[in-house]
Structure 1
Amino acid sequence: MKRPSSLSLDPGVSSKPKFESLEFIDGDDPFQTHYSHRSSTSSKSTCLLSSRELALSNVSTPLIKPQIHKKLLHTDSSSSYLDLLGNYLDVFFTLSSSYFEEYQNAYILHILNHLYKTKTQITKNDQLPDPVKDQGFSPTKILVLFPYKKNAKVFIEKLVEIHCKGKKKKMTKSSRRKFTEVFEEAEDAEVSDAFKLGVVLGDKRELQLFTPFKASDMIIASPMSLRQAILNESEDENAKENLGILCSIEMVVMENSEVFLMQNWDHIETIFKAMNRIPDRDSMTADINRIRDPFIEEKSKEYRQLIIFSEFISPLLLSLFNRNENYKGKAKTIDHYPGVNQYDVVQKYRKFRASSQLSAADERFEYFTQNLWPNIKEDLYPKSILFVASYFEYIRVKAYLEENDPGVLCISEYTQKSDKQRSIANWKNGKNKAICVTERFLYFRPQKFDDIGHLVFYSLPEFNNFYEEFARESKEVISVYCKFDGYSLQRIVGDKKAGQLLK
């Protein structure tokens, strides 16, 4: 997989120039022209959207102010974020939790607006004498991915608030009962990532949950559970990939996407590979004469909108975003960071040459094993920590340490609980000079490490709080990086210093 380069990242990374505000003008509703008009542009620009800097690429501006369906006239739809989403661009929003409600309201209104318009259009076309191509293979148009049940629960409650106008009785009895069982009464209701359900919006504001996927308007799921459904994971070894579930998706929303980085990213890749492909005949519920040409030609992914919400930009998320083929173009927020390393600790940054994104992992390992570790291991302070961001890097580093430096303990998210406890106790008692840990282990099993000797970052963390918390307790910090680590570096040292280190 290609990993996008970093800090050529965004324009204006070391300063904050003033940009013009993004304008939305009156014109043909983007929903009506989405499948009938294709623009070809390769322009790039930077603008302001509600005081946030926004980088646009392959977007024809000015953008059109989308029309709001009559079913949403009771809501506050005067949002520039809703206007942006309503132009069907791919959007990557970085934000903190304190600002998330405004963004969430905008994207939920956008989802409902799209579904209401689609249903109205199909109903009108039903009355015409000749069939009109206005559908996909199935009615399932929206996919919303959440890392945990608690995130999905909030989303569903917002659907009830807006679509049902707050009337829970508009949910079917079976939906209310199952919702309570799964999202409120279950022991794992807060942190479980085992959930998936279909949703149907009724014409009279009814709401059905846990409907069959192929008969649903929308799918709400965790990546893990949806992957299991796609791959038909069961005892039947001959079960085929279920392409009918996601064959007609027109919009994907990923909420709290930074958490997906700490889960199994392969689930995300599997989902996107299975999306917008031609299914078997049993999965085609629409009249074949009304299926749009892009679906038949397996080009519907070019019309699929991707909306990502994350606390920060990461190479994996950005790669997924850039690979989405939406012809309408892309918009992503530009962030500025002051840095977190403003305290009295010796901090050293060691840059290695990476010839390409694909070879960076091998070159990092070569630099660590041949240049860095052999020169520092004898001089490590007691109670040192070696931090490794990914599990795949950890496997490689662990094998090297076991062969060349067995005094270093190694623990990851997959280490047995008893082994973890013993290793941490030995490290705290000074029986072993260093311990190697992964970011995912620290994310899911937070640990208190104090009085740290050397803190060595084999790779920089995605979550900059790990750098801040650990560095503050350390005598000396050594960080290994290359030109492709710009986003992580920027969050740790700030815009200006990152630009200097990456030169």
Structure 2
Amino acid sequence: PFVQHLGNELSEEEVRKLASGTRTRTQAKWPRLGTMTCSSALDRFGAVGLESSVKPLLLHKTLEANWPLVNKTFVAQGSSQDVSPLQRELLGLMGSYRDVYFPESSPMAEAREVRSAYCLHALNHVLKANARVLANNSHLRDRKPGEELEDECRDQGMTRPKVLILVPFRDHALQVVHILISLLEPKGKKMDVSHKKRFKDEYGEQASDRPPNLSRPDDYHAIFSGNVDDHFRIGLSVLRRSLRLYAPFYSSDIIIASPLGLRTVLGTEGESKRDFDFLSSIEVLVVDHADVYLMQNWEHVLTTIKHLNLQPLGSHGVDFSRVRMWNLNNWAQYYRQTLVFSSIQDPQINNLLTKHCFNYRGQVSVKNLSKVGSICQVVVQLPHVFQRLNSESFTDQECRFQFFVDKVLPQYRDAVMSHTLIYVPSYFDYVRLRNYLRKEEVNFASICEYSARSQVCRARHFFQKGDRQFLLFTERFHFYKRYAIKGIRNLIFYALPTYAHFFSEMCNMLRAGSDAGDSGWTCTVLYSRFDLHRLAAVAGAERAAQMLRSQKSVHLFVTGEEHSL
């Protein structure tokens, strides 16, 4: 597969077809991954078959020997297999060199299996590429004087880095490097790894300032364990018998970085000190924990993608007689494989693949809708009113704002409807609502991810006591802090939450700080026809489809022990 993928020469007509973005879509269903959408611009790369074995990958011997040991955590006790069903199917897709989007990589379960799988694939790609270069070097040394250079010796890109792995925190980079070392180590021997102590000091456990007495859910501990610094980048050079950490980018085979860490190197147009040539020949891009970047800064991800596979501004010592023709033709983006892993379906992540990825072998996206929504995890007796907007697009925020101001907010302005929390996923929507409430002199407090601890304490206190009628609350604050907000009686979701389980978490907060016999709680949710995945994750796929098809724009559900949905 490696030779077939990189050795395939595209015609100019095929390149024009790839650049147009027109794709043929088909569906496939696999035992573990479920329903998948397969898209391809070229007819000869259509739907995927069922690659039920990793043998077609033709793994490097060292990787094949070490894989069972590295992967033993995910194999059932007593099983003779050395690969889980999920990894078997993911490795089959990766080995076909198609783009892959897997949005069910839970940080508590699948994420570890996924990480081992893409490390195996990335390292296999690097070892095969390096082995080919070394073999051709030997062939060229034995070449007779005056003998012409064969096309088979075109085995390189414009720069050396071949694999870029994006992870959100240093702890994730630490785990990736540990897996790579384990895969490379000779059996029974320790691998020669340079700067190992420095790497452990900089990427290992750090002191936490979080209060130890706060109870947080399992997904929080899974995401925020270890070193959670999000500004880093490190180059890895894979040699014959050693691994060099902190290698200069132009001497690296693999780059592991956070989007923010790369963003500071890439710079902006007009800056004197900026560099992006080292991304010119990336052949495998891994975007792990893509949903976390939505909580950080998605623009950093887009900036990184836009700087991939551009023609370098300098030569950087490359031997142009060894550069592949498709690299010289500036067609590298059509050969780049992009692997995206997330715990949720999200339009922005989908857009990353549809608008910025042009792999000539096509794309495969897992498209399973949630059968049981997170609303079933709401344990309080609570009526949920879902109100549908007539929005023109996913990004049409004007319609949502006017609907909220004209239809929803007036219902809660009465003093009787106090203790109302407004949950806002987008920070830009939060700023707009905050400015509007200030202008209208509404009695409210606000909490966002940029609020100082003292501001958060005051806002929570005033809201619980009823001194502030409204509390404007951002999703990112909940993602990073998970504080229990006491005193909520009315809950408004300005938009459906990015993470479905946040819906039940917020609804169940109504019990906090409430009297045993307290009642009269309400929950209002705004959604549009472009919120299919989020709505399905909250309400369930079947119920979401009915709500979107219905002529009615308002739907009521009641949760609690005495009620059924």
TM-score by length of 1: 0.87
Matched residue SS, 2:417: coil
Which ranges of structure 2 fall in alignment gaps of 5 or more residues? 18-22, 69-81, 144-148, 209-225, 511-520, 550-565
Residue 239 of structure 2 is matched in structure 1 by: 202
Paired amino acid for 1:100: A
Q: Does 1:349 align with 2:358?
A: no
What count of residue pairs does the alignment treat as equivalent? 468
Matched residue SS, 1:350: strand
Q: 1 CA distance for matches of 2:4 and 2:96?
A: 11
Shift of 1:285: 3.5
Paired amino acid for 2:390: R
Please list the CA deviations of residues 134-157 of structure 1 after superposition, one character each: whole Å capped at 9, or x if unmatched: 211111010111111111111111
Matched residue SS, 2:101: strand
Q: Does 1:95 align with 2:105?
A: yes
Matched residue SS, 2:385: strand
Alignment of 1:42-121 (within 5 A): 42-50=24-32, 52-58=34-40, 59-61=45-47, 63=49, 65-74=56-65, 75-76=67-68, 79-93=88-102, 94-96=104-106, 97-121=108-132
Matched residue SS, 1:452: coil
Q: 2 CA distance for matches of 1:425 and 1:168?
A: 59
**Counterpart contact for 2:2–2:125, Cα < 8 Å:** no
Q: 2 CA distance for matches of 1:315 and 1:166?
A: 44
Match of 2:408 among 351, 361, 372: 372
Residue 137 of structure 1 is matched in structure 2 by: 158
From the superposition, tell whether residues 48 and 479 of structure 1 become closer, same or farther in structure 2 (CA, over 3 Å). Answer: same
Residue 159 of structure 1 is matched in structure 2 by: 180
Match of 1:483 among 500, 516, 529: 529
Q: 2 CA distance for matches of 1:165 and 1:353?
A: 61
Matched residue SS, 1:394: helix
Shift of 1:238: 4.0
Q: 2 CA distance for matches of 1:401 and 1:168?
A: 65
Match of 1:181 among 185, 201, 220: 201
Alignment of 1:102-501 (within 5 A): 102-126=113-137, 127-128=139-140, 129=143, 130=149, 132-165=153-186, 169-173=190-194, 175-184=195-204, 186-187=206-207, 190-204=227-241, 206-231=242-267, 238-282=271-315, 284-323=316-355, 324-337=357-370, 338-342=372-376, 343=379, 344-358=381-395, 360-378=396-414, 381-474=417-510, 475-501=521-547
Paired amino acid for 1:269: L
TM-score by length of 2: 0.78
From the superposition, tell whether residues 167 and 224 of structure 1 become closer, same or farther in structure 2 (CA, over 3 Å). Answer: farther
**Counterpart contact for 1:380–1:453, Cα < 8 Å:** no
Matched residue SS, 1:281: coil
Q: Structure 1 stretch 179-188 or stretch 364-373: which is displaced more?
A: 179-188
Question: Higher relative CO (CA 8 A, sep ≥ 6), structure 1 or 2?
Answer: 1
Matched residue SS, 1:172: strand
**Counterpart contact for 1:197–1:219, Cα < 8 Å:** yes
**Counterpart contact for 2:171–2:204, Cα < 8 Å:** no
**Counterpart contact for 1:226–1:271, Cα < 8 Å:** yes
Q: 2 CA distance for matches of 1:166 and 1:150?
A: 26
Q: 1 CA distance for matches of 2:47 and 2:535?
A: 33
Shift of 1:462: 0.6
From the superposition, tell whether residues 376 and 35 of structure 1 become closer, same or farther in structure 2 (CA, over 3 Å). Answer: farther
Paired amino acid for 1:82: L
**Counterpart contact for 1:368–1:458, Cα < 8 Å:** yes
Paired amino acid for 2:61: K
Residue 4 of structure 2 is matched in structure 1 by: 32
Percent identical among aligned pairs is 27
Two-structure CA RMSD over aligned residues (Å): 2.3
Q: 2 CA distance for matches of 1:379 and 1:325?
A: 55
**Counterpart contact for 1:164–1:207, Cα < 8 Å:** no
Q: 2 CA distance for matches of 1:84 and 1:380?
A: 57
Q: 1 CA distance for matches of 2:31 and 2:157?
A: 33
Matched residue SS, 2:304: helix
Whichever of the two has the greater Rg, that structure is 2
Q: 1 CA distance for matches of 2:187 and 2:267?
A: 36
Which ranges of structure 1 fall in alignment gaps of 5 or more residues? 1-28
Q: 2 CA distance for matches of 1:120 and 1:32?
A: 16
Paired amino acid for 2:335: Y
**Counterpart contact for 2:28–2:48, Cα < 8 Å:** no
**Counterpart contact for 2:39–2:47, Cα < 8 Å:** no
Matched residue SS, 1:349: strand
Shift of 1:232: 7.9
Shift of 1:263: 0.5
